[in-house]
Amino acid sequence: MNVRLGALSVYLPESRRLLFRLRPKEIVSGTQVLIQGPSGTGKTTLLHLMAGLFLPSEGYVFVGEQNLSFLSDEARGRLRRQNFGIVFQSLNLLPHLTALENVMLSLRGHAEAKTKATTALSQLGMESFAGQRTAQLSLGEQQRIAVARVLAATPSVVLADEPTSGLDEVNATAVISALLDLPKKPTVVVVSHDHRLRDRFKEVVDFQDLVTS
């Protein structure tokens, strides 16, 4: 699924200070893109715009043929549920649920939810943690559960915010390999400071190169 960005501008709501203004950018369906750059420049905000979690002050975001600015909140939410897999920095896991139950949340109504969730956990070496509540797990373990939730859902678009932050070499490799080797070749956009990832992507973009004055 294509993601097309049209001359986006974002102003901070309180001060109306310009956070960034970006050049137009198209991410073709099936492309895997790594976006890198310093903290505080707006990389996470850009991912949230792609997901339709909020709308740009100026410009547009197209996902497939849909202009997100023309969709209601409900329609954007439905588009996310049906097409997106998102790994947030905050992870958004439910601490009272087990690892397996958290992964199964992305598969509500799917006949093989438990099997698909178990397979996704196994891909990341987390099968032995399936029955443990996420509140009892380390941050790195929780990070892999959040990625497993995306793997299980086989989305058309994957957005990942610092998915290897704090992970050792072995687990970082497992996480990024799993995201890049997803079946059906989704569009993948990862924002990260982790320079270990640069060699894994054919397209590496410096966020500052997207910014225009």
Domains and CATH numbers, the chain: 3-210 (3.40.50.300)
User: In angstroms, rounded to a whole number, what is the distance separating the alpha carbons of residues 171 and 188?
Assistant: 19
Which tokens go with 120?
A: 């996704």
The predicted structure's pLDDT at residue 110? 77
The predicted structure's pLDDT at residue 213? 67
The predicted structure's pLDDT at residue 40? 80
User: In angstroms, rounded to a whole number, what is the distance separating the alpha carbons of residues 41 and 29?
Assistant: 26
Q: Is 64 a residue whose pLDDT tops 80?
A: yes
Does the pTM of the predicted model rise above 0.85?
A: yes
The predicted structure's pLDDT at residue 130? 96
User: In angstroms, rounded to a whole number, what is the distance separating the alpha carbons of residues 135 and 125?
Assistant: 18
User: In angstroms, rounded to a whole number, what is the distance separating the alpha carbons of residues 20 and 37?
Assistant: 13
The predicted structure's pLDDT at residue 71? 96
Contact in structure between 135 and 95 (CB atoms under 8 Å): yes
Beta partners for residue 67, in sequence order? 62
Contact in structure between 174 and 123 (CB atoms under 8 Å): yes
Mean pLDDT of 63-70: 95
User: In angstroms, rounded to a whole number, what is the distance separating the alpha carbons of residues 137 and 131?
Assistant: 11
Please report which residue ranges of 96-202 form alpha helices under DSSP H: 99-104, 113-123, 139-153, 169-180
